Amino acid sequence: MRGGEIMTVELEISGMTCAACARHVAEALREAGADEVAVDWRSGRARVEPDGAQASELGRALDGTKYQVVRVLESDRRGPGSDGDYEYDLAIVGSGGGAFAAAIAARRRDLRVVMVERGVVGGTCVNTGCIPSKALLAAAESRHHAIAHNFPGVPTTAGSADMAQLVDSKDELVTGLRHSKYIDLADEYGFEIVEGNARFVDGPALDVNGRRLEAAQYLVATGAQAAIPDLPGLAEAGYLTSTTAMELRELPQSLIVIGGGYVAMEQAQLFAHLGTTVTMLVRSVLARGEEPEISEAIRDAFVDEGIDVREGVVPDAVWRDGRHVVVSTAGQEIVADHVLVATGRRPSTDNLGLSEVGVGVRMDGAIVVDDDLSTSNPRIWAAGDVTGHPQFVYVAAKHGALVVENAFDGAGRRIEYGALPRITFTNPTIASAGITEAQAQARGMDVSSRTLDLQHVPRALVSRATRGLVKVVADSETGRIVGVHIVGDGAGDVILAGSLAIQAGMTVEQLAAGWNPYLTLGEGLYLAAQSFSRDPSKLSCCAA
């Protein structure tokens, strides 16, 4: 301590290859007299407060080990809040994909990072979204395939589903991934996770259950939560969300799903494939944001599976009748064991104190950000679902890394969504990249399109999975591809090729002249491109 300032020493250390190495190095430095030791094995750096130890003593602290102090650098750091210097370089509110991407990017720059989480570490994706829903969807689809009898000569059967065992298996997977991909990584990269409710206060600073955290820059990455409609009687009757539905220990005999977006469709088909009788109440049409051909195809698939899809329907009241719930719509009453509300998700910005530090928030709760993800407060940034940008974990992850570059390097980087892939894990799967034909026309673009039925794709024929289509949208003048839209078994794996074609500015002619891997669904994309100039029904195998 000199003149009220904290003396810090930074060491450049060779030989570290893992988190265990960092722990051994930290222990040796403490034994040599260092205090407040922070070791990052990835950057090969350690930051310590000598606490009376000489720099030379620290330089010899690793003698006789496989590690070596390469350089010792002294630096003065003022205490928190004095003349623009802070306890941390980056403070993050939230602990999901965007938060961890930012924390890792910051630690690779040897920045001091703290993360605040009020609930369970890991955010929506690993805890209540992507991982648990896709795990249960895969299980349900396995049962569905056993019932479907797609192949003559291969009889199959399926018994009733054990919901409790499915949920236990799902929870085990979630717990493992939460630790390996989140909690353990915080230790590996060397940043602190603080449990508690974070609220911005003057400074700006964060108040976390009475503890004041100050940082040079802040990132809000608190995600989104289920948006519940103002429907008379809904709260009193009780309802499920996608989160609570995946915790049920008993499979319901009947279920009403309110909504027609990707969460509603996945949850409806999940329970239908497990044996539940499902009714969907959809305000407009299923998959409203997709091409109309895809909306029609997925509706037909659902109806053929026995799901009662009612489009253009708006519920007007809900009440409970004994152990059942009743939903009223246009004079009709629908009765089921449960009602699941899946009418979208809204950004989680309640009680963050954003207005107190001058951060603008929209009516829907989304933080107002510029294209570089900066907010109206120059030291506060936002990433992921909380921005109102596309709600995908891979978007949040890109946001988090981009914020670090913009906040600490002044990079001014922006996210381009023109080739963004999006997948709905129904059966058949919906996968799209780029814009729809209607969206292109709304932008004043002159486009043309071709739609290829999967009946023309050999992979679909041999797999007995011909329900679906591929649609390619291209600029009429240049032939440049601006949209790829697929519904079919395996569409999610094909859409990367469509996204890359859009990103690379490929034309339909270039795509049609490229390599075509036979007996894959990817051939459908190739054939759709060829259909701009040829009739695919008149082609032999391998599209020759």
The label of the residue with tokens 């979208």 reads: 344
Residue 229 CA, distance from chain mean position? 23
First to last CA, the chain: 78
Place of tokens 């700006």: 204
Peptide bond into 204 cis (omega under 30): yes
Mode of pairing for the β-strands spanning 380-382 and 224-226: unpaired
Find how far residue 374's CA is from the centre of its chain: 20
How far apart CA 264 and CA 339 sit, in angstroms, is 11
Neighbours of 168 (CB within 10 A): 12
CA 190, 193, 198, 201 torsion-angle sign: negative
Sign of CA dihedral 119, 91, 197, 240: negative
Helix 97-107 and helix 393-409, axial crossing angle in degrees, nearest 10 = 40
Contact 310/227 with Cβ under 8 angstroms? Answer: no
User: Could you tell me the strand order of the sheet in which 380-382 lies?
Assistant: 192-195, 113-117, 88-93, 215-220, 380-382
- Residue 60's CB is within 10 A of a number of other CB atoms, namely 11
Give the whole-angstrom CA distance, residue 86 versus residue 32: 27
Which residue type occupies 350?
Answer: D
Give the DSSP H or E segment for 511: helix 508-512
At which residue do the structure tokens 């509603």 appear? 264
Total residues belonging to the chain:
544
CA angle 457-155-253, nearest 5°?
95
CB distance 483 to 472 below 8 Å: yes
CA distance 48 to 29: 8
Burial of 140 (0-12, 13-18, 19+ CB in 10 A): buried
Question: What does the DSSP 8-state code read for residue 119?
Answer: S
Residue 467 Ramachandran class (φ > 0 left, ψ -120 to 50 alpha, else beta): beta
Would you please indicate which residues are annotated as catalytic (active-site) residues? 16, 18, 21, 67, 125, 130, 541-542
Report in angstroms the alpha-carbon separations of 284 from 186, 232, 311, 317, 422: 44, 20, 6, 18, 20
Nearest of 534, 535, 540, 514 to residue 458 by alpha carbon? 540
- Residue entry with tokens 């909690």: 183
Please state, in angstroms and rounded to a whole number, the distance separating the CA atoms of residues 102 and 400. Answer: 4
- Please report, to the nearest 10 degrees, the dihedral formed by the alpha carbons of residues 483, 484, 486, 490 taken in order: -140
